[in-house]
């Protein structure tokens, strides 16, 4: 892929990822958490399914099960944990925890996909993860919001590996549409099961739902899945370290959340981690892959 196009796509998708935390937190003033994210992805899935009506759909039931599994982890698991965490922690903290998953991706890729990473690749990811820890203020209080934030990271890591393993089987738009639709329906079921659904309909809530459904879901997921399918999951996921900055920045701009000094210190390590991970690839130290069928 053209490096300039790659940079544009990475910045676009991570900016949409990060900013959706602050926008989502504002939305919680009008809609209960699981209902908000359920409406977001059900609407996004339906709109995309209508848009791609002429694309080839999977013919085997096992392929639909694979798409459902991706939606379970990448949409229902990740977004359910994120929006529930936003009730008790800041948008910046939630985004930082969620996008700390590259270390998990590398570990799971090694164990389940047979990918073999080089020494400096591991160092880069660990440095980046250390930056995330520092950005959180040198501590992790295992309160409910923090645990949910970490849960979204674990779920995202699993979703990333499933996309890498199964993604090439599908048209990228079909995969994006139906995994969001399945995940959204699961979240709606969870809303009516685990919370008391509530919604206030006004211009602000409608704008938030449409923004989250179209820009922060359809556009963002399509770009992310494309990047995952055209590169190594560990390499690509390293750029998720950019998303917490957009999360912290949008929290500061939209919610007046305070950005402490240690956030900037963590930022330096995060960018260093990204550089180390990708510098090893630029030097031609390729990963040996043994992907299963």
pLDDT the model gives residue 234: 61
User: Contact at 8 Å (CB) between 21 and 82?
Assistant: yes
Give the model confidence (pLDDT) of 25-73 as tens digits: 999 999 999 999 999 999 999 999 998 889 989 989 999 999 999 999 9
Q: What contacts 24+ positions apart, CB below 8 Å, involve 280-289?
A: 280/118, 280/120, 280/121, 280/124, 281/232, 281/235, 285/118, 285/120, 285/121, 287/115, 287/116, 287/117, 287/118, 287/121, 287/232, 287/234, 287/235, 288/115, 288/116, 289/113, 289/114, 289/115, 289/116, 289/232
φ, ψ of residue 116 to 5 degrees: the values are -115, 115
Mean pLDDT over 123-132 rounds to 81
pLDDT at 115 over 80: no
- Residue 58: inside a domain: yes
Residue 289 covered by a domain: no
Better-predicted residue by pLDDT, 281 or 169 = 169
The most distant pair of C-alpha atoms in the chain lies apart, rounded to whole Å, by 54
More confident site: 145 or 46 = 46
Whether 142 is covered by a domain: the verdict is yes
Q: Which of the 8 DSSP states describes residue 286?
A: P
Closest CA to 278 of 243, 231, 246: 231
Classify residue 124: in a domain, yes or no.
Answer: yes
Enumerate residues 6+ apart whose C-beta is below 8 A from 262.
134, 135, 137, 138
Rounded mean pLDDT of 116-125? 80
What pLDDT, on a 0 to 100 scale, did the predictor assign at position 119?
A: 81
Whether residue 130 is predicted with pLDDT greater than 90 in this model: the reply is no
Q: What is the span of the domain harbouring residue 196? A: 16-282
The reply to whether 5 falls in a domain is no
Residue 7 lies in a domain: no
pLDDT at 73: 96
Percent of the chain with pLDDT over 90: 39
Say if CB 86 and CB 25 are below 8 A apart. yes
Q: Is residue 252 over pLDDT 90?
A: no
pLDDT digits over 188-242, tens only? 999 999 999 999 999 999 999 999 999 998 888 788 878 877 776 666 766 776 8
pLDDT value, residue 233: 63
Alpha helix segments (H runs only) across the chain: 3-27, 33-51, 61-70, 78-85, 91-98, 102-108, 119-135, 144-166, 172-194, 203-213, 220-230, 233-237, 243-255, 261-282
**pTM of this structure:** 0.80
Q: How many domains does the chain have?
A: 1
Residue 3 falls within a domain, yes or no? no
Closest CA to 22 of 253, 260, 286: 253
Q: Is 115 within the bounds of a domain?
A: yes
In this predicted model, what pLDDT tens digit does every residue of 150-163 receive, in sequence order?
Answer: 899 899 889 988 98
Gap between the Cα atoms of 292 and 112, Å rounded: 9
């Amino acid at each position: 892929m053209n490096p300039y196009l790659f940079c544009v796509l990475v910045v676009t998708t991570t900016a949409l990822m990060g900013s959706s935390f602050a926008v989502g937190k504002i939305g919680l003033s009008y809609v209960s958490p699981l209902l908000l994210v359920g409406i977001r992805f059900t609407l996004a899935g339906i709109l995309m399914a209508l848009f791609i009506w002429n694309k080839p759909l999977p013919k085997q039931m096992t392929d639909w099960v694979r798409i459902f599994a991706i939606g379970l982890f990448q949409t229902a698991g990740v977004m359910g944990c994120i929006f529930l965490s936003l009730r008790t922690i800041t948008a910046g903290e939630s985004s930082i925890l969620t996008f700390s998953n590259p270390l998990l991706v590398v570990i799971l890729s090694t164990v389940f996909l047979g990918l073999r990473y080089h020494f400096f690749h591991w160092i880069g990811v660990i440095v980046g993860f250390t930056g995330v820890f520092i950005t959180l203020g040198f501590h992790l209080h295992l309160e409910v919001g923090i645990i949910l934030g970490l849960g979204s990271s674990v779920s995202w890591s699993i979703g990333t590996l499933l996309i890498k393993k199964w993604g090439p089987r599908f048209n990228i738009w079909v995969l994006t549409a139906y995994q969001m639709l399945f995940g959204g329906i699961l979240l709606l079921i969870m809303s009516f099961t685990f919370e008391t659904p509530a919604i206030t309909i006004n211009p602000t809530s409608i704008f938030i739902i449409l923004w989250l459904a179209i820009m922060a879901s359809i556009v963002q997921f399509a770009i992310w899945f494309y990047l995952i399918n055209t590169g190594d999951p560990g390499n690509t996921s390293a750029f998720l370290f950019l998303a917490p900055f957009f999360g912290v920045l949008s929290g500061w701009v939209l919610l007046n959340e305070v950005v402490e000094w240690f956030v900037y210190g963590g930022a330096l390590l995060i960018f260093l981690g990204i550089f180390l991970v990708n510098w090893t690839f630029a030097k031609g130290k390729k990963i040996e892959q043994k992907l299963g069928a």
